[in-house]
């Protein structure tokens, strides 16, 4: 199970993302927080494999959170960046900060599922969807 933390300042969008993650096999939401500082606290406590991170946070920016995550966590935590900025620089910076995937708002559930399943396959721990091949040895059954 990929333990996922949702970080998103807009409460309504956060709930949408939580529901999206909960629909995917192999993923579990371990928390929903609205600020960068809360995200760092949650990750520091442990039990987080993946952070679904909004790049625009009101307190510290998402990229700052990325940097801090890499600096302080003993175990690597993967980050999928969620951004409304189509600007190249933000995305390039995000990739430089260890972001494994990014999603540009607005996106549909199909796009979201596609990115997260590709991430799961890459991570080699799980693969959702129907009939997709999984490189992992610990293959899990994917529910609808």
Partner 1 sequence: VASEHERSKLAYEQAALSREFETVRGLADSLRAQAHESANQLHTIVGLVELGRYDEAVRFATERVEVAQELVSRLQERIEEPALVALLLGKTAVARERGIDLVIAPDGGFTGAVLPAAELVTIVGNLIDNAMDAVAEAGRGRVEVDLRVEGAEAVIEVRDNGPGIAPEHLPRVFELGWSTKPAAVHGDRGLGLALVRQAAVRVGGQAAARCEDGAVFTVRLPLRSQALAGGGAPG
Which positions lie near partner 1, rule CB under 8 A?
9-10, 12-13, 16-17, 19-20, 56, 58-59, 84-85, 87, 105-109
Residue closer to partner 1 (CB basis): 49 or 54: 54
Q: How far apart are CA 98 and CA 80, in angstroms?
A: 9
DSSP state letter for 104: E
Residue closer to partner 1 (CB basis): 12 or 75: 12
Q: How far is the CB of 58 from partner 1 (least distance, A)?
A: 3
Residue 76: left if φ>0, alpha if ψ -120 to 50, beta else—which one?
beta
Hey, what's the torsion of the CAs at 10, 11, 12, 14, to 10 degrees? 80
Q: How far is the CB of 105 from partner 1 (least distance, A)?
A: 4
Residue closer to partner 1 (CB basis): 20 or 119: 20
Cβ atoms 23, 109 nearer than 8 A = yes
Q: How far is the CB of 121 from partner 1 (least distance, A)?
A: 22
């Amino acid at each position: 199970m990929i333990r996922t933390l949702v970080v998103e300042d807009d409460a309504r969008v956060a709930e949408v993302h939580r529901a999206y993650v909960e629909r995917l096999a192999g993923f579990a939401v371990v928390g929903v927080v609205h600020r960068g500082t809360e995200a760092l606290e949650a990750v520091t406590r442990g039990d987080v494999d993946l952070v679904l991170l909004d790049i625009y946070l009101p307190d510290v920016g998402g990229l700052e959170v990325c940097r801090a995550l890499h600096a302080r966590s003993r175990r690597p935590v993967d980050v999928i960046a969620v951004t409304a900025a189509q600007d190249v620089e933000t995305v390039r910076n995000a990739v430089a900060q260890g972001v494994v995937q990014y999603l540009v708002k607005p996106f549909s559930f199909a796009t979201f599922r596609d990115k997260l399943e590709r991430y799961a396959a890459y991570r080699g721990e799980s693969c959702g969807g129907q009939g997709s091949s999984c490189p992992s040895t610990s293959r899990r059954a994917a529910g609808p």
